[in-house]
Chains A and B, each alone.
Chain A
Amino acid sequence: MTAVLEGRELCLARGSKQLFSGLSFGLAGGHALVLRGANGVGKTSLLRVLAGLTEADAGEVWVGAKRTQALSSSARSAILYFGHANALKDEFTAAENLADQLALDANPASAEQQADALTVVGLMERRHVITRRLSQGQKRRIGLARLHLSRGALHKPVWLLDEPTNALDSDGSALFVHIVEAHLAEGGVAVIATHLPMALTGKVDELHMRGLV
């Protein structure tokens, strides 16, 4: 089985600190990798390397069984990066922010599909509220709506998620797990950095990062 996402011998140092070295893994369709470890151990850095935002000191990232250059067009169309920051504009409404994010992803979801997604994440009644007035958890839910519309191997097969359940309540976390499981079931892969417990079932591996000196 070929891997949808693969890291080969990845190395990254920040300042005098070696975050990881010789890190290799492969994720076939339907598999998820949960990154665990203390703050500052390099979970976000690893995600950024996989996304191509940060250049690794050594090593290769393979997407869809092809070696990809950082931020090459094939990598950009395969990868969805859901960062620590929400990438929302305070001045826009929830619905506008979702529409903008999807436009930027070149996601062809129709207006009805977007409305459905907002219903799924429980923001339908607040869709015309300016984002500034939404709570942290509700802002995170706009991101969940984006994930909901990017499921499966067809659209954005590779999900890189950084503390996705931060600020979400237990319903929100359950919803997140549900969306990721649907994504995996449709052949996608996910790398999830989190320090919160996550009830993800299926083909899930955990990577405990300890950091090197």
Chain B
Amino acid sequence: MSAVPVNQPALSTPESGVWITLVRDTKLAIRSKGELAQALAFFIIVVSLFPLAIGPEAAILKRIAAGVVWVCALLAVMLTLPRLFQSDYLDGTLEQLALSPYPLPLLCAGKMLAHWLSTGVPLALVAPVLGLQFGLEASELLVMVAGLLLGTPVLTMLGAIGAALVLGVRGGSILMALLVLPLYTPVLIFGAGAVEASIAGIDAMANLSLLAAMLLFGLVTTPFAAATAVKISLD
């Protein structure tokens, strides 16, 4: 069961901060399988409700496929955001992260990476199966998976900032949704747009490149923003 290396010796480079939280959170996600399955089950069920509700009209289903899958992926990721920092905040681990000699942005980056591996990646992997229900073809499914693999880490990174900001706030999850959902719209537009383009027979690379650009931009900025949000919440 423990494919994850345990007790990796603490390296003295700052970069190993990423490794510490990545391993720790991944181990936690594996040990609490229930939470891991919840977001995935939510995604599968809600996406599957649409063909049932709308009926077997192939043209309509194909038209809405990209939007439905992306909106559901977005909501599924959002459902899992509270667990990114909440339990660490409650049990005092977050204070220890902030006081660790490792830079907090790198520790946050490790947590984001672990979160993406346990939510975004599984969502992207089951998406093609769900896409079949909407009559998407292989090339279109491929674009959808590529888009999700590029876009879900951005959802995690932006969400982490929101999740860190609302720590300790009553009714924080609603507030977090209000904070984060507007920020998610560009990802939604280009992610769904890539699949739409592919269905229309246009090259999807433009949309995918924009998603990749957002990913790269997020990688270098969001860990710092999340670390600042964590410090504010601890004060």
Contact = CB atoms under 8 A, between A and B. Distances in A.
Q: Do A and B bind each other?
A: yes
Interface of A: 51-55, 71, 73, 76-77, 79-81, 83-89, 91-92, 96, 99-108, 111
B19 to A, nearest CB: 9
Interface of B: 6-8, 10, 12, 20, 24, 27-28, 31-32, 87, 90-93, 95-104, 231, 234-235
A87 B7 contact: no
In order of increasing CB-CB distance, the 9 nearest A-B pairs are A85-B92, A87-B92, A91-B31, A77-B101, A106-B101, A87-B93, A104-B100, A103-B10, A87-B96
B135 to A, nearest CB: 42
Contacts of B7: 99, 111
Contact of B95 (A53, A91, A106, A108): A53
A71 B24 CA distance: 23
Contacts of B93: 87, 89
B99 A79 contact: yes
B235 A55 contact: yes
Contacts of A111: 7
Q: Per DSSP, are chain A's interface residues mostly helix, strand or loop, or mixed?
A: loop
Contacts, number: 81
A81 B99 contact: yes
B8 to A, nearest CB: 7
Given A53-B235, A83-B92, 15 more contacts: A51-B99, A53-B234, A71-B98, A73-B101, A85-B91, A86-B91, A87-B95, A100-B20, A100-B24, A102-B10, A103-B20, A104-B102, A105-B96, A105-B101, A111-B7
A106 B14 CA distance: 10
B102 to A, nearest CB: 7
Contacts of B90: 85
A1 to B, nearest CB: 26
Nearest to B94: A87
A104 to B, nearest CB: 5
B28 A76 contact: no
19 contacts: A51-B99, A52-B99, A53-B98, A53-B99, A53-B235, A55-B235, A71-B99, A71-B231, A76-B100, A85-B90, A87-B91, A89-B24, A91-B32, A100-B20, A103-B8, A103-B10, A105-B100, A106-B10, A106-B102
